[in-house]
Chain A
Amino acid sequence: MKKLLTVLLVFTGSTFLFAQNFGRISGNFQTDFQYYLRDTLIDPLGEAYPDERLLGTGFLNLTYQRDNFIAGIRYENYQNNRVGLPQDYKGEGITYRYARFIKDKWDITAGNFYEQFGSGIILRAYEERGLGLDNNLDGVRTIYTPMEGLTFKGVIGRQRNFFEKSNTIVRGFDTEWSLRNTLQWESTTNVILGAGLVSKFQEVTSPFYTYPQNVAAGAFRGTVITPTLNFSAEYAYKANDPSTDNEIIYKPGHALYISSSYTRGSLGLTGEIKYYDNFSFRSEPNTQPQQLLIGYLPSATTLHTYALPALYSYNTSLTGEQGFQLGASYYFKRGTPLGGKYGLKVEASLAQSYSLNKDYEYRVTAIDSVTNLPTDSTVSGTDGYTTNFGLGPIKYFQDFHIQVKKKLSKKVSITGTYYNFYFNSDAIRKGTAGVADYQLYPNADNPNGLEPNAFPVNAIVLDILWKLKPGHSLRTEIQGLWTDGQDDRFGGDWALLLLEYSIAPHWFLAVQDAYNYGNGLEELQIHYLSVNAGYTLGTTRLQVGYGRQQEGVFCVGGICRVVPASNGFTLSLTTNF
């Protein structure tokens, strides 16, 4: 009966209310399937062609609430995980369950929970399903609010690692103080101060290196908020934490992240500065690249959503980088010379990321028995390097783009964007960045150092929305991307055309052709044609598709995953109740 009830809840999309005394259940459901077709052009080895042919995943969240008590579960089902997502998500089970009690000044959670301290540098437990990333903590969280504006948080638990948990214990404490609330300021300005500390207990066996069992990271932060200005800064320090990420060096880590925004009338300005020095912070020092991250380093770049520019997304180098992003937007009002009849919005942004300015230190590991000169050395086991003020010699990334949004008439509006990237493929996609970029520095074999595989990328996107008649619209994307860059099978010029016809509020049909006509490998100068259709009814959405998907880089907040090219049918269903 319970199963039947659950099914009814899921597929009717209804809200189910128990009698008042029994509380309320709500939830959501998502399922995605893909049927794969063999495509020897895009996948000569058949790696993206699974034995199962049909792969599907499903997620069901259920939340029960009664008065001050909340409890929830998430059921996950991978039969098996789709290509491009972590294959260690396999099988099914309850992966998230918790009970939470909120009363007076206390908020207590037992079980799984997500949490973030400040900007997340020392702790960010979160889920990003599209990346297959879920590093929630299983343990206890206590939040105490002794007075308005003052909050203390304490957490302890172990991180999720696919269907298992890490052996490492993570414990943390954070406090945040909103001065205006606490001190009853009548000003429109507020100042928020915060501090946090996170420590992990790990047990690592190695015949070569001694790993610390307890590793702590602490951070201080402050935010000033006025009606026009928002400024926040956070500095974090991390004790010695040797790992595969940082080539097993023992240097303490430092991180600084500053963000600000200013708005006045039609003008908006934003700025971000990042400085990350050896700040990869994971539950386990030697694990898969996207697993068991405790901290999160904001990328200070724009996350592009159009398909072609998104091919060259930035991936934060956890072990060392610095950079900035500056943005400006201006709205030319209606009736002005540039604004015309419907107004005009212009946005521009420049972001750059560089290596740190470092002097590496090495440990000699082999000596020539005849000459007594060192024949081999390593940074492992040392502090790794010392830093100097200023930008490092290796540029990782640059993103300049300018976007113009203009409504041409009652029926037609257009968004045009120009992109210019500098893309250091070795740093961003091959990991030769941060501590690892010592390999590019001058040495005995390469007195002048090595040049990374880096190249410029230019792209233009035109997004035209044409409202044909009430409820009917046609959206057209015309995209072009030009680069001489090539990274193995990925690269070269692209052209893309998307036609998306919508009948509000239920239907849409989209046809897209992406043509990689300039790929450096002639056999990959091919069309990626796809068709998608969707139907929405209330909070339920069904989408089906067919086509060849180009290899993509899917990023969220600077964390990226390469999704291999594939060919086949897709179906997805989402609903809330």
Chain B
Amino acid sequence: MKRHIFFALSTLILLSISCDKVPVDERVKDPTGNNGPVDGPQQRAVLIEEFTGITCNNCPKAADEIKKIEGAFPGRVHTIGIHASNFAIPQPPDYPADFRTGVGTDIYNFANPFGVPSGLIDRTDYNTATFSKPYGSFDGEVQQLIETGAADIAIALEVSYDASAKRASISATFSNQKTLDYAPELYWMAVLTENKIIAAQKLPDNSKDPDYEHNHVLRASFNGNFGLPLTNHGFGPDNSSTADASLTLDNDWVAANCEVIVFVYDANTQEVIQSAAIDLPE
């Protein structure tokens, strides 16, 4: 009997050693550091496609988390706020805003997330259970992708805006920074997002904030719900190509608060290879 008690206690002690206590002063990291823009080849930026809704009480938590991530990696995180699902249906008079779009709903259905808030991070892990991700994992996912260093393809953007016609035009140049030995089926997509929209939002405590500031709200796509093929773009290290598109803004959209996000992705894996953003000129 003593032998058995010794065996049990030994095992319990061995297992209990398998436990790490994080010291108080090591719990919180300082994310600011060398995470900003760097010289040399264009570094990989990360695209967050955030699924959200005006009556989703936990969605402001995800928005706060994204704001933190953007602050930790300045200029290297681009966010598209996609209002979709039942939580995006207007419920007047409390929640009258309707931020749903056809392109957003299509992307939401394509991602088929478990709910909101959730999101895609560079559309990694396609066809797996972790394609759409809970917002609590956004920071780690973004960091891992940021740490991959130089992007395979660099994106340079030029944008113009005709205020009288409310017409925005984008020109994107995609330049390989290495040989694309995985032979991607390249697509490019450009979308318009709007910041600083004030509208009612349900909060985590389930109260209503009538003056909530919505950012990154997806307004429209320049070139289809899943972009267009990047034709004639070779896989060699110095290959580059340019694509153009334009879009007429709705009268309700404030051009000064709008941003154009462009990304290029591999249709074989759906993974976003690189993304870039530029403000719409006033």
Residues of chain A touching chain B, judged by Cβ–Cβ distance below 8 Å, are: 44-45, 47, 51, 86-88, 146-147, 150, 152, 154, 161-164, 171-173, 175, 195, 197-199, 201, 204-216, 218, 239-240, 242-244, 248, 250, 285-289, 363, 381-382, 426, 430-432, 436, 439-440, 450, 452-453, 488-489
Contacts and interface: CB of A to CB of B under 8 A. Distances in A.
Given A87-B114, A207-B29, A287-B137, A239 B19 contact: yes
Most buried by B among A47, A86, A436, A450: A47
Interface of B: 4, 7-8, 11-12, 15-16, 18-22, 24, 26-29, 31, 35, 55, 57-58, 68-69, 72-73, 85-86, 89, 91, 109, 112, 114, 128-130, 134-137, 139-144, 203-207
A184 B252 CA distance: 83
Contacts of B139: 205-208
A362 B90 CA distance: 34
Given A205-B144, A207-B72, 17 more contacts: A146-B4, A152-B7, A172-B15, A205-B139, A205-B140, A210-B22, A210-B28, A213-B20, A214-B18, A214-B20, A240-B22, A289-B114, A363-B28, A382-B27, A432-B57, A432-B205, A432-B206
B15 A209 contact: no
Contact of B18 (A44, A201, A208, A288): A201
A195 B11 CA distance: 11
Contacts of B4: 146-147, 150, 152
Minimum-distance CB pairs A-B, first 4:
A244-B136, A286-B136, A216-B19, A205-B140
Contacts of B57: 426, 430-432
B140 A206 contact: yes
B213 to A, nearest CB: 15
Contacts of B207: 450
B143 A173 contact: no
29 contacts: A44-B89, A45-B85, A87-B112, A152-B4, A173-B8, A195-B8, A195-B12, A197-B15, A205-B140, A205-B143, A206-B29, A207-B142, A208-B31, A209-B28, A210-B22, A210-B27, A212-B19, A215-B20, A240-B21, A244-B134, A286-B136, A287-B137, A288-B134, A363-B28, A426-B57, A431-B57, A439-B203, A439-B204, A439-B205
Contact of A453 (B27, B35, B73, B206): B206
B205 A208 contact: no
A88 B16 CA distance: 34
Contacts of A431: 57-58
Contacts of A206: 29, 139-140, 143
Contacts of B11: 152, 154, 173, 197
A488 B28 contact: no
A164 B27 CA distance: 30
Contact of B12 (A208, A209, A218, A243): A218
Nearest to A48: B86
A426 B206 CA distance: 7
Nearest to B88: A45
Nearest to A244: B136
Nearest to A452: B206
B114 A171 contact: no
A9 B200 CA distance: 59
A208 B89 contact: no
B168 to A, nearest CB: 29
A162 B204 CA distance: 29
A209 B29 contact: yes
Contacts of B27: 209-210, 242, 250, 381-382
